[in-house]
Structure 1
Amino acid sequence: MKIPLSWLKDYVKFDLSLDEVAHALTMSGNEVENIRSIGNIDKVLVAKVIEINPHPNADKLQLVVVDNGTSKLEVVCGANNLFIGQKVALASIGAKLFNPHSEDSEEVFTLKKSKIRGVVSEGMICSEKELGIGLDHTGILNLDSNTVVGTKIEDIIGDSILEFSLTPNRSDCLGIIGIAREVSAILDAKLKLPETNYISQKQKVNSAISVNIEATDLCDRYMGSIITDVSIKPSPKWLQDRLTAIGERPINNIVDITNYIMFETGQPLHAFDYEKIKNKKIVVRRAKNKEKIISIDNTVRELNSNILVISDSEKSIGIAGVMGGKNSEITSKTNSIFLEAATFDSSNNRKTSKQLNLKSEANLRFEKGLNPQLAEFAIKRAIRMILEICGGESYSGLIDEPKEKIISKKIISVDKNYLSNILGLKLDDFIIENTLTKLGFEVVDNNEKWDITVPYWREDVNIPEDIVEEIARVVGYDIFPSKTISDNLPIWSPTEDLDLKRKITDYLVESGMQEIISYSATNMESESRMDFPKDYPSPVFIRNPISNDFNIMRRSLRESILNCISYNVRSWKDPIAIFELGRIFLETNDDLPKEKIMINGAFAGPRNAIHWERKSNDLFDFFDAKGSVEYVLKKLRIPMKFSKFSDDPTFISGRCAKILSGKNLDIEIGVLGQISNKIISKFGSNIPDIFMFEIDFESLLNIYIDADKYNFYSRFSRHQNSQRDISLIVDDFQEVQEIIDIVNKHNIVSRSEITDIYTGGDIVDGKKVITVRIEYQSFDKTLKASEISIIEKKILLDLKKFIGADLRS
Structure 2
Amino acid sequence: DATNYVMLEIGEPLHAFDFDVLVERAEVETPTILTRLAEPGERLTTLDGVERELDDFTVLVADRAGALSIAGVMGGAESEVSEHTTNMLLEGAAWNFINIRRTTASHFERGVHPAMAERGVRRGLNFVAQLAGGEIAEGLVDEYPLPPIDSTVEITPTDVQRWLGLLLEVNEIADILGRLGFKVEVDGQILRVTTPDHRLDIGQGVDGQADLIEEIARIYGYDRIPETQIADRIPPQYGNPKLEREERVRDVLVGLGLQEVVTYRLTSPERETRILPPESPPDDRPYIRLANPIASDRIVMRHSLLASVLEIVERNVRIRDRIALFEIGQVYVSSEEGDLPEEPLRLVIALSGPRSPPAWQGSDQKPMDFYDLKGLVDEFMTTLHLGPLYKPMEHPTFHPGKCARILIGERQVGVLGELHPKVSERYDLPERPVVAAELDLDLLIESIPEGYVVEPVPAFPPVLEDLAVVVDDEVQADEVEALLKHTGGQLLVDVKLFDLYRGEQIPEGKKSLAYSMVYQAPDRTLTDEEVAKVRARVIKILESELGAKLRD
Distance 2:239 2:149 in 1: 52
Q: Which residue pairs with 1:262 in the alignment? A: 7
Q: Which residue pairs with 2:473 in the alignment? A: 730
Equivalent residues of 1:496, 1:705 under 8 A apart:
no
Runs of 5+ consecutive residues of structure 2 not aligned to the other structure:
277-281, 520-525
Q: Is the partner of 1:600 in helix, strand or coil?
A: strand
1:184-225 Cα shifts (integer Å, max 9, x gaps) = xxxxxxxxxxxxxxxxxxxxxxxxxxxxxxxxxxxxxxxxxx
How much does 1:450 deviate?
3.0
Equivalent residues of 2:500, 2:513 under 8 A apart:
yes
How much does 1:771 deviate?
3.4
Q: Which residue pairs with 1:363 in the alignment? A: 105
Q: Is the partner of 1:366 in helix, strand or coil?
A: helix
Supply the AA of the counterpart residue of 2:73: V
Equivalent residues of 2:348, 2:436 under 8 A apart:
no
Distance 2:195 2:297 in 1: 40
Equivalent residues of 1:621, 1:691 under 8 A apart:
no
Are 2:29 and 1:284 equivalent residues in the alignment?
A: no
Equivalent residues of 1:757, 1:768 under 8 A apart:
no
Q: Is the partner of 2:407 in helix, strand or coil?
A: strand
Q: Which residue pairs with 1:126 in the alignment? A: none
* Correspondence for 1:623 among 364, 371, 377: 371
* Correspondence for 1:455 among 196, 209, 219: 196
Equivalent residues of 1:729, 1:808 under 8 A apart:
no
Distance 1:290 1:628 in 2: 63
Equivalent residues of 2:68, 2:75 under 8 A apart:
yes
Equivalent residues of 2:500, 2:514 under 8 A apart:
no
Distance 2:506 2:73 in 1: 76
Q: Which residue pairs with 1:474 in the alignment? A: 219
Distance 1:653 1:327 in 2: 72
Equivalent residues of 2:62, 2:68 under 8 A apart:
yes
Distance 1:438 1:751 in 2: 79
Equivalent residues of 2:156, 2:170 under 8 A apart:
no
1:66-109 Cα shifts (integer Å, max 9, x gaps) = xxxxxxxxxxxxxxxxxxxxxxxxxxxxxxxxxxxxxxxxxxxx
How much does 1:526 deviate?
8.8
Distance 1:713 1:328 in 2: 90
Q: Which residue pairs with 2:406 in the alignment? A: 659
Supply the AA of the counterpart residue of 1:626: K
Q: Which residue pairs with 1:76 in the alignment? A: none
Are 2:324 and 1:574 equivalent residues in the alignment?
A: no
Equivalent residues of 1:742, 1:799 under 8 A apart:
no
1:394-413 alignment runs, 5 A limit = 394-401=136-143, 404=145, 406=147, 410-413=151-154
Equivalent residues of 1:584, 1:597 under 8 A apart:
yes
Distance 1:737 1:601 in 2: 23
* Correspondence for 2:174 among 423, 433, 455: 433
Are 2:512 and 1:771 equivalent residues in the alignment?
A: yes
Q: Which residue pairs with 1:711 in the alignment? A: 455
Q: Is the partner of 2:350 in helix, strand or coil?
A: strand
Which has the larger strand fraction?
1
1:331/1:711 Cα in 2 relative to 1: closer, same or farther (>3 Å)?
farther
| TM-score, L = length of structure 1 | 0.52
1:409/1:715 Cα in 2 relative to 1: closer, same or farther (>3 Å)?
closer
Supply the AA of the counterpart residue of 1:641: L
Equivalent residues of 1:757, 1:769 under 8 A apart:
no
* Correspondence for 1:634 among 382, 404, 408: 382
Q: Is the partner of 2:212 in helix, strand or coil?
A: helix
1:488/1:437 Cα in 2 relative to 1: closer, same or farther (>3 Å)?
closer
Are 2:116 and 1:374 equivalent residues in the alignment?
A: yes
Q: Which residue pairs with 1:340 in the alignment? A: 91
Q: Is the partner of 2:171 in helix, strand or coil?
A: helix
Distance 1:297 1:363 in 2: 20
Distance 1:264 1:330 in 2: 22
Q: Which residue pairs with 2:279 in the alignment? A: none
1:740/1:373 Cα in 2 relative to 1: closer, same or farther (>3 Å)?
same
1:307/1:681 Cα in 2 relative to 1: closer, same or farther (>3 Å)?
farther
Supply the AA of the counterpart residue of 1:379: V
Q: Which residue pairs with 1:151 in the alignment? A: none
Distance 2:187 2:151 in 1: 17
How much does 1:384 deviate?
1.8
1:640/1:272 Cα in 2 relative to 1: closer, same or farther (>3 Å)?
same
Distance 2:350 2:108 in 1: 46
Q: Is the partner of 2:7 in helix, strand or coil?
A: helix
1:484/1:339 Cα in 2 relative to 1: closer, same or farther (>3 Å)?
same
Distance 1:725 1:620 in 2: 28
Distance 1:512 1:554 in 2: 27
How much does 1:497 deviate?
6.2
Equivalent residues of 2:469, 2:550 under 8 A apart:
no
Equivalent residues of 1:753, 1:773 under 8 A apart:
yes
Distance 1:573 1:589 in 2: 45
Q: Which residue pairs with 1:672 in the alignment? A: 416
Q: Which residue pairs with 1:513 in the alignment? A: 258
How much does 1:605 deviate?
5.0
1:91-170 alignment runs, 5 A limit = none
Distance 1:476 1:433 in 2: 16
Q: Which moved more, 1:365-374 or 1:594-603?
A: 594-603
1:786/1:799 Cα in 2 relative to 1: closer, same or farther (>3 Å)?
same
Equivalent residues of 1:720, 1:782 under 8 A apart:
no
Supply the AA of the counterpart residue of 2:127: M
Q: Which residue pairs with 1:89 in the alignment? A: none
Distance 2:42 2:500 in 1: 71
Equivalent residues of 1:603, 1:692 under 8 A apart:
no
How much does 1:603 deviate?
1.9
Q: Which residue pairs with 1:445 in the alignment? A: 186
Identity percentage of aligned residues: 27
Are 2:473 and 1:753 equivalent residues in the alignment?
A: no
Distance 2:18 2:191 in 1: 49
Distance 1:300 1:655 in 2: 63
Supply the AA of the counterpart residue of 2:258: M
Q: Is the partner of 2:448 in helix, strand or coil?
A: helix
| TM-score, L = length of structure 2 | 0.73
Equivalent residues of 2:512, 2:551 under 8 A apart:
no
1:538-553 alignment runs, 5 A limit = none
Distance 2:133 2:305 in 1: 65
How much does 1:258 deviate?
1.2
Distance 1:612 1:582 in 2: 37
* Correspondence for 2:351 among 603, 618, 624: 603
Q: Which residue pairs with 1:387 in the alignment? A: 129
1:305/1:807 Cα in 2 relative to 1: closer, same or farther (>3 Å)?
farther
Supply the AA of the counterpart residue of 1:450: L
How much does 1:475 deviate?
1.8
1:678/1:528 Cα in 2 relative to 1: closer, same or farther (>3 Å)?
same
Q: Is the partner of 1:401 in helix, strand or coil?
A: coil
Equivalent residues of 1:433, 1:443 under 8 A apart:
yes
Q: Which residue pairs with 1:176 in the alignment? A: none
